[in-house]
Amino acid sequence: MSHGFAVTFERWNQESIEAGETNDNGFIIVDVSLRDAIQLGLEYSKPSYAGACEASCSNLAQARWLTFHKWNDGTRDYYENGIDEQRALHIPDSVTPSSRKRIARLFS
């Protein structure tokens, strides 16, 4: 599979939720293989360990990214500080529609 995958993050606290935006966001890893994006960016040793994710659109063949909501659920940051982190796996344009479907199905 091609390189060019990226993983981004957004961290939300109560203030940013009320404001409707967060300044705590950015890239975890860029221009890597799918395996590295999963293991180093999403920090899952296997796709089956992932929590629920949502594709950028309902047609999985056209999905440009997968968002993993409540990525940090169960962590100290989540319970003590009220930080809700989500991460997104960004799929490069060079990936075919059928491969996009397969990638999305890895996490279902």
Average pLDDT over residues 73-102: 91
How far is residue 29's CA from residue 36's CA, in Å, rounded to a whole number?
A: 9
How far is residue 49's CA from residue 4's CA, in Å, rounded to a whole number?
A: 23
Closest CA to 70 of 40, 50, 55, 48: 50
Closest CA to 69 of 19, 107, 29, 18: 107
The full set of domain ranges for the chain reads 5-106
Q: Using CA atoms of 81, 9, 101, 108 in order, give the dihedral in degrees to the nearest 10.
A: -10
pTM, to two decimals: 0.86
What tokens were used for 49? 């360990």
Question: CB 19: neighbour CB atoms within 10 A?
Answer: 11
Confidence grade of residue 78 (pLDDT, cut at 50, 70, 90): confident
Judged against a pLDDT cut of 80, whether residue 46 lies above it is answered with no
Write down the pLDDT at residue 93: 95
